[in-house]
Chain A
Amino acid sequence: ETVLTQSPGSLSLSPGERVTLSCRASQSVDSDYLAWYQQKPGQAPRVLIYGASTRATGIPDRFSGSGSGTDFTLTISRLEPEDFAVYYCQHFGNSPWTFGQGTKVEIK
């Protein structure tokens, strides 16, 4: 089973700041198979990034993804008020298709 470890667990930032979130895999993941989601309270997750670096339809270009092998990153270039949420990575390599434990981005 591929374990995804996200860091940090949480962080407090101000609107306008840049944030970088990490997702580290316990074994190599094909970058085609790595996705990032955003979840707001009381809502289902929505996909932000797939294929490690491709923005999903309608996702603003302040969101970007990068990485390969075991290390992947989600960057938000300038935080907007609506970006304060929990972010998860997920892989679609060998089953099970595990999620990371999430990173909570809070307003400072």
Chain B
Amino acid sequence: QVQLQESGPRLVKPSETLSLTCNVSAGSMSPYYWSWIRQPPGKGLEWIGYVYYSGSTNYSPSLKSRVTMAVDTAQNQFSLKVRSVTAADTAVYYCAGRRRGHYYMDVWGKGTTVTVSS
């Protein structure tokens, strides 16, 4: 069973770039759609976008102008960058995977809390 683990800075200053990495272990990165999902404190889940194992991406329109995702299959990891962050980007960030042909997120990381503050 594939396992995911998020890593990255827990505190980011306003206007800077939030960068997270998700390490994939105990399985192959293909053929998965690798997503990032966030959850502000006390609120619901927001899908940010995905990077396919081949490298193609698809982002939510609400964040598309500030987000970049990438995959590194040699390192078994994928990444998220969110530029020009504000306090509204404070959230628990989850990485998750949807296997091709399955229409649900069947593997999730435990989540990492990122706070945007000076």
Q: State whether A92 and B98 are in contact (beta carbons under 8 Å apart), knowing that A45-B45, A50-B104 are contacts in the complex.
A: yes
Residues B45 and A88 in contact, CB atoms below 8 Å apart: yes
**Shortest Cβ distance from A50 into B: residue:** B104
Residues B108 and A33 in contact, CB atoms below 8 Å apart: no
Q: State whether A35 and B103 are in contact (beta carbons under 8 Å apart), knowing that A44-B108, A96-B60 are contacts in the complex.
A: yes
Q: Is A95 an interface residue (CB 8 A)?
A: yes
Q: Is A1 an interface residue (CB 8 A)?
A: yes
Residues A98 and B103 in contact, CB atoms below 8 Å apart: no
Count chain A CB atoms within 10 A of each CB in B49, B59, B61, B105 and give the residue with the most.
B105
Q: Is A19 an interface residue (CB 8 A)?
A: no
A: which residues have CB within 8 A of B? Answer: 1, 32-35, 37, 39, 43-47, 50-51, 56, 88, 90, 92, 95-102
Chain B, range 79-111, C-beta contacts under 8 Å to A: 94, 96, 98, 102-106, 108-111
Bound: A51/B35 CA distance, A: 19
Residues of chain A within 8 A (CB-CB) of B47 are: 90, 96-99
Bound: A102/B42 CA distance, A: 11
Residues of chain A within 8 A (CB-CB) of B50 are: 97
**Shortest Cβ distance from B60 into A: residue:** A96
Bound: A1/B94 CA distance, A: 22
Residues of chain A within 8 A (CB-CB) of B104 are: 35, 47, 50, 56, 90, 92
Chain B, range 49-66, C-beta contacts under 8 Å to A: 49-50, 58-62
Residues A1 and B61 in contact, CB atoms below 8 Å apart: yes
Residues A101 and B44 in contact, CB atoms below 8 Å apart: yes
Residues A32 and B103 in contact, CB atoms below 8 Å apart: yes
Q: Is B46 an interface residue (CB 8 A)?
A: yes
Residues of chain A within 8 A (CB-CB) of B111 are: 44
Residues A33 and B103 in contact, CB atoms below 8 Å apart: yes
Q: Which of A1, A34, A47, A95 contacts B105 (CB 8 A)?
A: A47
A90: shortest Cβ distance to chain B, in Å? 7
Residues A99 and B45 in contact, CB atoms below 8 Å apart: yes
Residues B108 and A102 in contact, CB atoms below 8 Å apart: no
Q: List 26 A-B contacts (CB under 8 A).
A: A1-B61, A32-B103, A33-B103, A35-B103, A35-B105, A37-B105, A44-B108, A44-B111, A45-B94, A45-B108, A47-B104, A50-B102, A50-B103, A50-B104, A51-B103, A88-B44, A90-B47, A90-B105, A95-B58, A96-B49, A96-B62, A97-B35, A99-B37, A99-B44, A99-B46, A102-B44
